[in-house]
Structures are given as structure tokens and as C-alpha cells.
Amino acid sequence: MPIISSKYVSNDKLVCFEAIRKTIELSYNQVIESLTEKVLYYMPNVYPIPFMIAKTYTVHAKIVRALFYSIVYPDKSNFEMLAIYPALTLIERLPEHLTGAIGHEIAHIIALEGKVSISKSDLYSILRNREENAKSKEKKAEAAYKYFNEPVLSEIIRWDRISMQKGTEEIVSKDIQLISQQGFDRIVFQENIDHFYDFIKSKLAKSEQN
């Protein structure tokens, strides 16, 4: 089983963390058991977080805000591996959609072959058009949906639809701290933040050599 960590959970939430852990574990197991092939090379750890990344994009001259209810990102304990960081409010307020949400994140990890990789071309793609870059990542994740059996496949597709609704944003974002990507990095990696940035720099340097 993966680690389901209380690392970022506040003291007042620790008293109910066992229930949170069991909710995650149930959904996680459903997702893993639904996989039709061995396409997941390790069991990604899960770190519930009491904050959520908010990003802004310019779409047709309009500023659009995007909230990330759950993200796949390098594991705080091993930068070479990916982990899942779901918002606590997602777990607590929409537990019926957690299987779909975790399945969606697992699809991203499958699409990335479980690897943490970044290149200058990735950065250029983000800088050129953040929205298109995000859409490209989602399409790659959707291509991995074929590895999931029912009913989990339908749960993932349902979550993709539900996550786009304004009502979902209001439910999950209420009373949770919204932070930038840089703020997320500082909180998650803490005293290892410099090591993490050195790791990213080394990945970029290697990509230039290949």
C-alpha cells in the first residue's frame, strides 16, 4: 500500500484523520484493482493538503482562474517519483467523487510512465500557451483511460465532468487557502526546497544533453 500521509494536516484535523485515510484507501484500492494491465510501475503516495493551487490564464483576452482540486507532483520524500496531493475539502465534502478524482490522477501518472521529467521544450510550451499546454496534458491522461475497467472508468469520466462545474468549485474552494505554485512548493518541500529546485535544474540540464 502507498503512504497516505498526515504530514500537512493541521492538529485540529488529526483527530479525524483515520476516517480521511480510510476514505482515500477505499477509493485508491478501487482504482488500482480496476487496472486491466500492469501499467503502473509503483504505488504513488497520497498527501492530503489543506490548501489548493490557483492559477490564472488569459483566454481570448479574458483572465480565467483555474483551481486544482488534486494534482500529481514529485513526491516530497523522493523527487524521482510522483505522488498525489488532493485537497482535504475534496475528500471531506465530495467523497462520492474521490474514486474518479484519484483515477484521473493515476491516469496522469500512467501517461507519464511514472517518471518525473521536464525539459526546456516543456517550459517553452507552458510560456507560449498555458491553456493549450494544460489541455495537452489532459489529452494524454485521457488516452490512459483505456486501462481502467468499469465502474471506475465511468467514475473518472463523471469526475471530469463534475470538476468543471461552478458548483463543485464553490464546494471545494470554500474556506480553503488558495496558493500559487511557488507557495505550494515552499509548503510541500519546506527545508528541502533548495534541493527540489536543484533537482529540477538537473533534469533540465540532462534534457539539453539528450
Domain ranges of the chain: 11-209
User: What pairs with residue 72 in β-bridges?
Assistant: 84
Please give the chain's pLDDT, 210 residues, in tens: 789 999 999 988 888 999 999 999 999 999 999 999 999 999 999 999 999 999 877 767 777 788 999 999 999 999 999 999 999 999 999 999 999 999 999 999 999 999 998 766 665 555 555 667 677 889 999 999 999 999 999 999 999 999 999 999 999 999 999 999 999 999 999 999 999 999 998 888 877 666
Q: Count how many Cα atoms sit within 13 Å of the Cα of residue 18 in the half-sphere of its side chain.
A: 1
Does the N-terminal peptide bond of residue 74 adopt cis geometry, omega within 30 degrees of 0?
A: no
Exposure string over 153-187, b if 16+ CB within 10 A, otherwise e: bebbbebbebbeeeebeeebbeebeebeeeebbeb
Cell of 57: 490564464
**Contact, 63 vs 54, CB < 8 A?**
no
What integer pLDDT is reported at residue 136 of this predicted model? 81
10 Å Cβ neighbour count for 46? 22
**Contact, 143 vs 156, CB < 8 A?**
no
pTM above 0.85, yes or no: yes
Exposure string over 106-127, b if 16+ CB within 10 A, otherwise e: bbbbbbbeeebebeeeeeeeee
Give Cβ neighbours of residue 47 (< 8 Å, ≥ 6 apart): 5, 7, 8, 76, 83, 84, 85, 188
Q: Quick one: how many helices (H) and strands (E) in the chain?
A: 10, 5
Give the pairing type, strands 177-179 and 78-86.
unpaired
Q: Which residue's entry shows cell 533534469?
A: 203
**Consecutive H or E run containing 73:** strand 70-75
